[in-house]
Every structure is written in C-alpha cells, then in structure tokens.
Amino acid sequence: MVPFSKSTQSMRSSEIRELLKLAVRPDVISFAGGMPNNDLFPIEELDEIYSHLPAKLKKIGMQYGPTAGYPPLIESLKKYLSTKGLPLENNDLIVTTGSMQAIYLLAKVFIDPGDRIITEYPCFIGATAAFNSFQPELESVPIDDDGIIISQLEKALFRPAKFLYLTPNFHNPAGIIYSTERKKQLLQLLQNKKIILIEDDPYNELYFEKEDEKLTTPLKTMGEPVPICYTGSFSKIFGPGMRLGWLLAPKKIIEKCELAKQAVDACSSTFTQVLANEFMRKDIMPKYLQKLRASYAQRCDVMLRSLKEYMPSEVKWTHPRGGFYVWLTFPERVDATDVLKESIDNGAVFVIGKAFDPESRRNNCLRLSFSYPAEDKIQEGIKIVADAIKLFL
C-alpha cells in the first residue's frame, strides 16, 4: 500500500464519531450537534424568494461563479458588516464554503509544519481539525466567564506564534461572551506583537436580550494592533445547508486565500449565494433573527432550569446570554466518556469535553447544545445526563 501523506497519518480517528454512531436511534434526545433547530429554518421565506427569482438569476445560480463570491452578495455583506462598524478600507471580503473553509484557507496559507498556533481552551473542534491538517504545534490558553485569561495568554505569547484563534461571542463550546473589558485588555496585550488574530464570529447575531447586543461588538471594530481576520457564517442565521460563510481580512491575506480557494472548490455554491443575497437584500433577516433569538433564549432557559433541578451540587455550568451551548464541568474523577455511554443507553447524547481540548486530554467536562432538540424534550434529556453523572461521582 502506498503510504498516506504525513499530515493524513497524523489525523486522529474520532472516538467521538464512533460513540455518536451509537446514538442514531430516533428516540435519542440529542444535545450533541451544534445545529440550528430544523423547525426554525426559514422555509416559507425561501419558497417566496425562489418563486420570485427571475429566470436570469436562476441561471446565474446554476453556473460557476467568481472564486471570491457572487458580486451582489459581496456587496450586501459589505453593507451589512459596515453597519456593525467593521472596517472595509484596506480589507477585502471573500465568500467561503462555510466559515469552516475560511479557517481552513487561513491555515493553508500560513501554517508550515511546527508553527505555533494559540487557541482558547476549550476550543471549537472544527478549527483545531483545520489547523491540524498542516501539522502545527497547538497551545491552548484557558478561558473564564469573561474570556481568555490575559495573564496566561501573555505567557503563551513569549514564544513566536502565527495565529491566535478566538471565538469571543457566544463561544463554542463554552457558551460565554467576552466582557468588553476583557476585549480591551486583549487588544492592549497584542500591541506590538507579531501574530495574526483570527476572530471567529458565527454566533454574533444570536444574543438573547437586546441590551447584550453591545457586548457582541467585534474586536476588529475596536482597533487592530495586529492583523485581524474576521470570519462569519450564514449557518446559524439562515441554514448550514447553504454552506456559506465569509472572511474579511487585510487585502494581501485575502489575495492568497482566494488563490488557495481556487484549488479547493473554485467557488462556493452560486445557487445558495443568489438565495442568500435575496435573503439579505429583501430585508427578511432582521425579522427572522428576532424569531431565532426568542426561540433559542426560551430553549436555553428550559435547559438552565432543568440543570438547576437535576444536577448534583458538584457539577458547574455556564450561563449563556446567546448562542447554542452550555458547558458543564465536574470533579476530575468523573470521565465524560463513561457518562456519555451511560447516557446513550438511557436515551440522551452530548459531546464529551475532550473533543474540545486541543491536547485531547481534559475530560471532566461536556458540551450541551440546546439549539437542536425539541423544547419539550430538553428537561427529560437533562435528567438522563444528570442521572448518568451521579453514577460516577
């Protein structure tokens, strides 16, 4: 057999996927996927958009498009991002196949084997997988309820690193949002550092309370002591099946990412870009977002109340103000994999903490997603998870 490439050989076989295969029974309550709720997709709006689409646009949608994206969508996105204060001067924007691809392209154009990358602990598994494709040295810095711990980041920055990868708003998996103070401290610390910041912001719009909108201010609008590559996505605000995201970054970086994208998929789906553009252009988004925020806030509330009711006192959890996730931590003697096996047997599934540890070690924690399950199943599922934890305490 011809050997696989070195980067493929270093790919981890996913214990998590194996475990989740056990959870395909339709009656299993799933807190596992970081997925929007199926009943919340804007199906009627989509029908409306498609049925009113002129034949000319349908044909454009069926054709290959420019690698950087469908020009009218780029314009709509720029307009939208400028309302958030994001700087368009000296930056460029490309449409990507999900924000996952934006992260992957950045990894591809910057990482040589052995380069250091700093992430948060815990960290979005898709980003670590994308980075690991290029054999970097990953180091993770813990977060607390207000964001990355500055004193620890300062130490990590003593040695050169290519990227700092952060999800400041409604973190996956931790469910926290950085405080404004922590964002400022972070930008202050990055003064005069030679590093690129990847600011991954797919949950930006999903705050539960209007008063928290100001907390979602992107770092990239607060000054750029180092180049900031800002990624966003339609996945959580339209549908992940659209496979559309974007990357706003300094022009020189976008040029290289565009070249790299040519070799990956030539262009993102023109068809879904045409639809997404109409979704933005027809101003459907603001009303739809209100519906999403109210529904996710409600689901989160049910989950938090259930956790309070059923979890033993040794278990701690985060209290999200937006997004999809609650992060649970328990004493070190309890292993989340044992809890998961027991939970699956009894009809509930989640993702074990180790999956979000770039060093794949710490496992006295787990992620619960409240976005996907039916609201009336959340309480029942949390009781199952709580009973499973109690067995191992």
Ligand X SMILES: Cc1ncc(COP(=O)(O)O)c(C=O)c1O
Q: Which is nearer to ligand X, 173 or 315 (CB)?
A: 173
User: How far is Cα of residue 115 from the mean position of the Cα atoms in its chain?
Assistant: 23
Cβ proximity to ligand X: between 136 and 232 the closer is 232
Closest contact distance (angstroms) between CB of 50 and ligand X is 21
* Residue number with CB closer to ligand X (61 or 245): 245
State which residue, 99 or 270, has the beta carbon closest to ligand X: 99
In the list 76, 99, 216, 318, the residue contacting ligand X (rule: CB under 6 A) is 99
Give the residue closest to ligand X by C-beta.
Answer: 98
Query: Is 381 one of the binding residues for ligand X (CB under 6 A)?
Result: no
Nearest to 97 by CA among 126, 58, 56: 126
Are 341 and 23 contacting, i.e. CB atoms less than 8 angstroms apart? no
Q: Tell me the sheet residues that pair with 202.
A: none
Q: Which residues pair with 366 in a beta bridge?
A: 328, 352
Least distance from ligand X to the Cβ atom of residue 199, Å: 11
Q: How many CA atoms lie within 13 A of 73 on its CB side?
A: 30
- Measure CA 187 to chain center: 21
The answer to whether residue 340 forms part of the interface with ligand X (CB under 6 A) is: no
In this structure, are strands 91-96 and 196-200 parallel, antiparallel, or unpaired? unpaired
For ligand X, the closer CB: 49 or 100? 100
Measured from the CB of residue 52, what is the shortest distance to ligand X in angstroms? 26
CA distance 70 to 94: 9
Minimum Å gap between C-beta 100 and ligand X is: 3
C-alpha to C-alpha distance for 105 and 83, rounded to whole angstroms = 26
Q: Out of 136, 168, 245, 353, which residue is the one contacting ligand X (CB under 6 A)?
A: 245
For ligand X, which is the closer residue by CB, 136 or 173?
173
Contact 117, 111 (CB under 8 A): yes
314, 364 contact by CB (below 8 A): no
- Is the separation of the CB atoms in 361 and 332 below 8 Å? no
Decide if residue 233 touches ligand X (CB under 6 A).
yes
**Number of neighbouring beta carbons within 10 Å of residue 258:** 18
Contact segment (CB under 6 A) with ligand X among 71-79, 233-241, 289-297, 365-373 equals 233-241
**Please, which of residues 125-184 interact with ligand X by CB under 6 A?**
126, 167, 172
* Interaction mask 200-219, ligand X, x per CB under 6 A: x-x-----------------
DSSP sequence for 261-273: HHHHTSSS-HHHH
Size of the site for ligand X (CB under 6 A): 14
The only residue of 124, 131, 165, 207 in contact with ligand X, by rule CB under 6 A: 124
Return the sign of the alpha-carbon dihedral for residues 322, 339, 100, 229: positive
Contacting residue, 34, 147, 320, 322, with ligand X by CB under 6 A: 34
Which positions touch ligand X (CB under 6 A)? 34, 98-100, 124, 126, 167, 172, 200, 202, 233, 235, 240, 245
